[in-house]
Amino acid sequence: MPADKHEVSFLPHGKKIEVRSGTTLLAAARAAGVSIPVRCEGKMGCLMCKVTVDPSENGVLPPSEGERRKLGGSLDEGVRLACQAKVCGTVAAVVPEDRLKRAIRLQLERQNQEDEDFRLS
């Protein structure tokens, strides 16, 4: 891998991509076909593009002052804005499950459990 390129993994999607140093996680996700919702088109206005990276890894540049103001203590837990976090090394980013997909999945799981409980009774 060239020195100016780094591997970015997106979990739980299991997708990986090589990107140049300085690429945002949002741009890398789009290039890898991973959906991260945004409304502000990467201007740090909507805060919808939160991802989690291991805070002990050095795969992304330190947060800007603006990102620090927006995220506060969440930064200590590895939360970053994908539109602002720039790649500078190998990194794995955890993308939260879409809220609507999560609600549907949970409802289906409840229905399946109720069906299973009914069959067993």
pLDDT at 115: 79
Task: Give the integer Cα–Cα distance in Å for 36 and 50.
Answer: 8
- For 63-105, what is each residue's pLDDT tens digit? 999 999 999 999 999 999 999 999 999 999 999 987 777 778 7
pLDDT at 2: 67
Over residues 38-55, the mean pLDDT reads 92
- For 10-44, what is each residue's pLDDT tens digit? 999 899 999 999 999 999 999 999 999 999 988 99
Instruction: Tell me whether residue 79 is exposed, middle or buried, using C-beta atoms within 10 angstroms of its C-beta: 0 to 12, 13 to 18, 19 or more.
Output: buried
Over residues 101-113, the mean pLDDT reads 81
